[in-house]
Amino acid sequence: MRTRQLLTLCLGGLLVAMPLVAQAGGTIKGKVMYSGKPIAAKEFAFSKFPNPAFCKQNPSQKGDDTRLLKEVEVDANKGLKNAIVSVRGIKDKKFKTTPHVIAKLCEF
């Protein structure tokens, strides 16, 4: 009898705690590594960009309208910079905040 009450209490506690865990959020930590030879940055003419009014400042050292497109950036330890990790299969609500994009010196 006492074991049955304890089991019922434990299962009831788990049922109450389960939704709280899902709503509490979480953190993903790790390091994305790159294998192979890093790709060199490519130059492109900024005048061909669809909306040059969006970025007026030019970080180019040459003083012209060229920009560097860094498709892949790798550090000395082969860590990949600006990697995006996708987590699939989450059945939760949408994000609480909307992302705000700031393009400093038009380097994306």
How is the chain split into domains, by residue range? Answer: 33-106
Mean pLDDT of 93-104: 70
Name the pTM for this structure.
Answer: 0.44
DSSP string, 60-103: -SSSSSEEEE-S--B-TT-BBTT---------SPPPSS------
Residues 48-61, mean pLDDT to the nearest whole number: 64
Q: Per residue in 19-54, pLDDT tens? A: 444 455 677 788 889 898 888 888 877 777 666 666
